[in-house]
Amino acid sequence: MQNRSVTAIIAAGGRGVRFGGSRPKQLVEVHGESILARTVGAFVAHPAVDDVIVALPADLAADPPPFLRDRALRIVAGGARRQDSVTNAFAVVSEGAEVVVVHDAVRPFASAELIARTIAAAAESGAAVAAIAARDTVKRVDSGRYVRETLARDTIYLAQTPQAFRREVLRAALAINDDATDEAALAERAGYQVRVVEGEATNIKITTPEDLAIADTIARRGKAVRTGRAGLGYDLHRLVEGRPLILGGVTVPSDRGALGHSDADVVCHAVTDAILGAASLGDIGRHFPDSDPRWKDASSVELLRRAAALVAGEGYEIGNVDVTVILERPKIANQIAAMRDVLAAALGVDTARVSIKGKTNEGVDAIGRGEAIAAHAIALIRAR
């Protein structure tokens, strides 16, 4: 199943009673970012995931936290049990979804590789669960805490999430109304074989306040690894009569403008690709495809602002961007200051961190003949 459609359900409908405190556990911060924001960000940014649905407690679903409002996802009210929350989310999964992934909101450190291999295993086998092999000797005890059996350690795996299923498998699993601790158990009861894929020791579930210290260590280590990244962006459009020439969100006086699905702003498009690339989030076409009518004639400044929010959701901040516009005519020197201000506002940085330069192509090829415009951009980002 190549190019499969994948929907992710984030199970965040609980209150975290064992965790204690006055607010839901998933909103507690780990190293400056909430647990839920970290978890959702991993799936929103994943190149294999097309749609994300978050099941929240009813009051939060009615008034979501700001970091959820600005993201490309859907929110539903959860239920009394975990499986009720997943069932509510599954009810709004697109009919075209072939694989559905379910993930605990309080497992904020699942890697992109773990998500990808769980999806691939489910597409092939029908159902898959991330799990890690038991490292200690496992004892089965009775109610009095006496050992009744020592289990073979090599047959024991500790289940995690993500858990992924072909759509029809998860539908059958959720139709079983028994209590269960995860969807894989329901799939087993529905008669399906569930394949185990190798989990990750860092993919911890934050259950008690004591887990926060471990989570903070993982977050700090991840931040250190991710500090300082660069991305390149490039865009090119034909120039035609009857279109405005918009560069960096500024309308430049010209008898020709760039042809495109959106406003065809090559400056914003190149910078968008640069910051997304630096954070390994794909490109502008993945997040804002020209096949989607929502982006018809869209402001590229708004698309850049959305991309910057995605990058911020991954725990990065913009260091600086540098753009080179290649255009034979008109000259853009008088508009560069305004462009820098617009880009800086969209990126959430000082104008001093934005550089824009204009170059000609010395009469060479389509750009040199005045038939096209291009822009190159580089962006540096760093972990917050």
Last residue of a domain, one of 226, 256, 284: 226
Judge if 207 and 264 occupy the same domain: no
CA dihedral 310, 332, 237, 318 (to 10 degrees): -20
Q: Do 205 and 91 belong together in one domain?
A: yes
Q: Tokens for 370, please give them.
A: 């005045």
> Where a domain ends, among 198, 226, 254?
226
Span 199-216, pLDDT tens digits = 999 999 999 899 999 999
pLDDT the model gives residue 7: 97
Is pLDDT of 17 > 60?
A: no
Based on the fold, state whether residues 222 and 310 are members of the same structural domain: no
Higher pLDDT, 147 or 67: 147
- Average pLDDT on 257-279 reads 95
Number of structural domains (the chain) is 2
Is there a single domain that holds both residue 39 and residue 170?
yes
Summarize pLDDT for 142-193 with one digit per residue, the tens: 999 999 999 999 899 999 999 999 999 999 999 998 889 999 999 999 999 9
| 26 token code pair | 């998933």
The count of other CB atoms within 10 Å of the CB of residue 96 is: 11
Q: What's the mean pLDDT in 42-48?
A: 90
pLDDT for 15 equals 66
Last-in-domain residue among 208, 226, 244:
226
Say yes or no: 78 and 221 in one domain. yes
Residues 91 and 238 in one domain: no
Report in angstroms the alpha-carbon separations of 40 from 55, 320, 367. 11, 26, 42
* Residues comprising the chain, all counted: 384
The per-residue pLDDT of the chain, averaged, comes to: 92
13 and 131 assigned to the same domain: yes
Confidence of residue 250 (pLDDT cuts 50, 70, 90): very high
Query: What pLDDT, in 10s, does the model give residues 313-344?
Result: 888 889 999 999 999 999 999 999 999 999 99
User: What confidence score (pLDDT) does residue 134 get?
Assistant: 93
Q: What does the pLDDT average to over 95-111? A: 96
1 domain-assigned:
no
Q: Over 80: is that where the pLDDT of 62 sits?
A: yes
Amino acid at the residue 319: G
pLDDT of residue 147: 96
Q: What range does the domain containing 34 cover? A: 6-226
Most confident of 2-16, 280-294, 346-360: 346-360
Quick one: what percent of the chain has pLDDT higher than 70?
A: 95
Is the same domain home to 218 and 283?
no
What are 35's two structure tokens?
């647990």
Residue 130 sits in the same domain as residue 186? yes
pLDDT value of residue 1 = 41
In a domain, 307, yes or no: yes
Q: Give yes or no: residues 216 and 255 share one domain.
A: no
**What's the pLDDT score for residue 30?**
93
Both tokens of residue 216? 């903070």
Alpha helix ranges (H) inside 64-159: 66-69, 82-90, 112-125
Q: Kindly report the pTM of this predicted structure.
A: 0.63
Please report, for the domain that includes residue 210, its CATH number: 3.90.550.10
